[in-house]
Structure 1
Amino acid sequence: MNIAYLVNRYPTVSHTFVRREIAGIEAEGHQVTRFSIRAGPDDLPDPADRAERDRTIVVLQRPLSLLLGIGRHLLSRPDRVLAAWRASGTMVPRSIKGIVTRTAYLAEACRIADAMAAAGVRHLHAHFGTNPAAVARMTHLLSGVPYSFTVHGPDEFDEPRQLDLAGKIADAKFVVAISDYGRSQLCRWVEVDRWPRIVVVRCGVDLSAIDRADGQATPGHDFCAVARLAPQKGLPILIEALGILRRSGLSPRVAIVGDGPLRTTLEREAARIGVGDQLTLLGSRGGADVAAQLRAAKAMVLPSFAEGLPVVLMESLAVGTPVVTTAVAGIPELVDAGCGWVVPAGSAQALADAMAAALATAPERLADMGAEGRRRVERAHDARENARALLAHMVAA
């Protein structure tokens, strides 16, 4: 079976779970054609991501060719083009900018439909219920090839009506949520008789790859945070918590792995609060180095405001490192007192208290918590097993 995958920007450092999912499907003997709407970054630190970039078809290239593709489809199947155009009107705001976006989506869908026909693709799967799912829906209406999509959150949960999640679900063969919480949010927007097509397939990690990873950690840090430097990750609250701890006589050091728009803000806030010497911004790192940094920490800290179910929590628990995180979305489905500390989102005091508790916890207890976390990941977040579960839905579709 030839399956197509569509992601907005792939590969990237934050989408390694997609790469693992594709690898799991290919390991079962199926072929995967990869589509990325936009090209991935050139400076990928992980060799596996760089190799994946060479296997990926970038859709948004050669504008004239894209427009000619619309013309060809209009001449051959105008009824299907009209259906796709009408569907785009429910997923994009009505404005001049919206018309441009709808035209771009249609052009992208035409190109993907042509490439899928040439490759003999029998099913299209998109990651994220935002524009990848919109383009996948339009591609389905153009080609007749069934489609599905995975909703991660939190973006889809913020604007379900504007994104027309209900329409996307109605046209899909099935829809994947990565947690029970995520499934509940999707069920809110569709009729009860459509709930059975919303299934839970959790994201996973490659446990064998994590176990054999031989990376380098930057030494001298008590905690590690792995996150995109974006507002929803709540990292300014982490800096505020460091200030609280410092005033109480504790000065733990934190390594932050990741990059993003808040880098300068975080540096400025750390200096203002007086904890700049406790914070190290390491930037993006390859998977082996991330695993090493997590192993070297007493605990991983992720003070997110909004999430789906972060893969980095699975990665931390997989290496045996407990986590300090927030009680949002699907996180409590994985983390509780058995393998970490769960605090209210937005509370710097609660985060500081949990970090202080982690610092005071005996190494033997930290090891026990890490071992329990590893068992949970093995049970519910093995990438190979979860890829098989997703594949079963695709084959049935």
Structure 2
Amino acid sequence: MPDHLTIKSAQLASAKGPIEAADGGVRLRVAYMTGEYPRATDTFIQREVAALRALGHHVQTFSVRTPPASENVEAEILAGRKSTIYLLPPQGLIIAHLAQVFSSPGRYFAALALAWNICPPGIRAMARQVAYFAEAAMLVRLIRKHDLSHLHNHFADSSCSVAVIAAAMGEITYSFTIHGPTEFFEPKYWRIDEKVRRALFVNCISHFCRSQVMLFAPLDCWKKLRIVHCGVDPEAFEVKRHQGRGGRLLFVGRLAAIKGLPIILEVLARLEDVTLDIVGDGPDRQLLEEQARLLNISSRVRFLGYQSQQHIRGLFKQADVFVMSSFAEGVPVVLMEAMAAGIPVVAPRIAGIPELVRDGQSGLLVAPGDVNEMASAVDRLLRDAGLRNRFAIAARHDVERDFNIQTESRWLAEIVSSAIAGRSIGIRP
């Protein structure tokens, strides 16, 4: 099997490769893909795309499916949908496959063999793999049509299966960003080992994330694993000045079991004269509303559904403490946003969160699932405005230094350029 870090000289010389600009820099032409895009919950991808474009790179976004209309919470998402190319419903599917069979039959059948080899067990999984193979041919045709030089996918699950098959079929270099936690629940099912082996490089959003990939990636592929943080634009957030006793909590996220929201509701039930705003939606909303009723706190909880980024920034200005109770996470972007806005955070001590929140210095970390410890931490912050202000200053500094989308996007562009040119590069800048 060829070394997938090696780029053929013909590919490097191709007109589709990186273009040297008049200022001496390199301008990339990249395909960006994920399963559903853009959504209210993937602002980190939207910001990354916007930042790369602001640097002068050409980024064409692709998505397997169109997100539901409920995700249309702001103008930026609607604009992103207009410029994104969707693989479903399929258009020109037969033409795409016939073109690939006749132009490169060897690669076509090699990609078919790859799709078979990485297919999870079961009839349903096989049916999905057939769909991924069908979509891959369409993606190859579209990448060539738009004269793109590299394919980058966000998340290591189904859309990455389409990407790795397309890369083999079209002899295209590809890479992906792995976030966790869900990809790590079934790494063998999604054949992350083979996806890493075939990738030009793999971006991991934290040291913790990188360590999880190292568990099942081949040892000789560890050198491909880079750390690229998701990021925010700190300048978009005004740092709050805290005064007096606080009484407003804020949660932003998906209303699903993995987020552990029943813990936060129990915490609220133990605190007097405290309210909670919950931004987001999901399968557990009705259950959570019922729990709030049973705890007799319904009058102190607002379920606000999905909201625009502008509205969320307004809620940051009103909040005294941001709360999170997840049982599994990557490095939550919403924590970065809260910290950039000067809102002290209480979050679980899991996964990559300690790489963002310095316990006792820029926020408070608690044992996951521990209602008593979380209630104590929240109460401590609400009582002490001075502590909230000290955390606000430290948190803002940390986000500006380590989780700034502008810095991270320049690092990402350097990774892509270096990988395509065959140059070695470090794990972090």
- Band of TM-score, shorter chain: over 0.9
Q: Match for residue 364 of structure 1?
A: 386
Q: Match for residue 72 of structure 1?
A: 99
Equivalent residues of 1:70, 1:106 under 8 A apart? no
3-state SS of paired residue (1:188): helix
- Following superposition of structure 1 onto structure 2, how do residues 164-183 of structure 1 map, counting pairs within 5 Å? 164-183=191-210
Equivalent residues of 2:107, 2:171 under 8 A apart? no
Residue 59 of structure 1, aligned match among 49, 72, 87 = 87
Q: Match for residue 230 of structure 1?
A: 256
Work out whether 1:139 is the aligned partner of 2:166: yes
Which structure shows the bigger proportion of residues in helix conformation?
1
For 2:202 and 2:290, how far apart are their aligned partners in 1? Answer: 42
The farther-off stretch of 341-350 and 169-178 is 341-350
Deviation at 1:204, TM superposition (A): 0.4
3-state SS of paired residue (1:13): coil
- Following superposition of structure 1 onto structure 2, how do residues 321-360 of structure 1 map, counting pairs within 5 Å? 321-335=343-357, 336-360=359-383
Equivalent residues of 1:90, 1:164 under 8 A apart? no
For 1:347 and 1:79, how far apart are their aligned partners in 2? Answer: 56
Which residue identity lines up with residue 76 of structure 2 in the other structure?
A: A
Q: Match for residue 42 of structure 1?
A: 69
Deviation at 1:349, TM superposition (A): 1.7
TM-score by length of 2: 0.86
Work out whether 1:395 is the aligned partner of 2:417: yes
For 2:104 and 2:124, how far apart are their aligned partners in 1? Answer: 26
Equivalent residues of 1:242, 1:251 under 8 A apart? no
Residue 182 of structure 2, aligned match among 140, 151, 155 = 155
Deviation at 1:90, TM superposition (A): 4.2
The root-mean-square deviation of aligned C-alpha atoms, in Å, is: 1.6
- Following superposition of structure 1 onto structure 2, how do residues 223-372 of structure 1 map, counting pairs within 5 Å? 223-243=249-269, 245-246=270-271, 250-335=272-357, 336-361=359-384, 363-372=385-394
For 1:284 and 1:116, how far apart are their aligned partners in 2? Answer: 33
Structure 1's consecutive aligned runs of 4 or more residues displaced over 4 angstroms after TM superposition are none
Deviation at 1:144, TM superposition (A): 1.1
For 1:31 and 1:337, how far apart are their aligned partners in 2? Answer: 42
Alpha-carbon distance change, 229 to 122 in structure 1, aligned in 2, over 3 angstroms: same
- Following superposition of structure 1 onto structure 2, how do residues 183-222 of structure 1 map, counting pairs within 5 Å? 183-211=210-238, 222=248
Which residue identity lines up with residue 364 of structure 2 in the other structure?
A: W
Summarize deviations over 1:318-350 as a string: whole Å, max 9, x none. 011110110110000111211211111111222
Alpha-carbon distance change, 301 to 91 in structure 1, aligned in 2, over 3 angstroms: farther
Deviation at 1:91, TM superposition (A): 3.7
The farther-off stretch of 304-313 and 250-259 is 250-259
Equivalent residues of 2:178, 2:203 under 8 A apart? yes
Summarize deviations over 1:251-270 as a string: whole Å, max 9, x none. 41100011111110100011
For 2:32 and 2:408, how far apart are their aligned partners in 1? Answer: 16
3-state SS of paired residue (2:212): helix
Q: Match for residue 216 of structure 1?
A: none
Which residue identity lines up with residue 222 of structure 1 in the other structure?
A: R
Which residue identity lines up with residue 373 of structure 2 in the other structure?
A: A
The farther-off stretch of 334-343 and 171-180 is 334-343
Give the unaligned 5+ runs of structure 1.
Answer: 213-219
TM-score by length of 1: 0.93
Deviation at 1:77, TM superposition (A): 2.3
Work out whether 1:83 is the aligned partner of 2:83: no
For 2:118 and 2:299, how far apart are their aligned partners in 1? Answer: 47
Tell me how many residue pairs correspond in the alignment.
Answer: 384
Which residue identity lines up with residue 128 of structure 2 in the other structure?
A: T
Which residue identity lines up with residue 205 of structure 2 in the other structure?
A: I
Q: Match for residue 42 of structure 2?
A: 15
Deviation at 1:209, TM superposition (A): 2.9
Q: Identity over the aligned pairs, expressed in percent?
A: 35
Summarize deviations over 1:65-107 as a string: whole Å, max 9, x none. 3244334323332322222222223443222212211111011
For 1:328 and 1:89, how far apart are their aligned partners in 2? Answer: 36
For 2:96 and 2:166, how far apart are their aligned partners in 1? Answer: 13
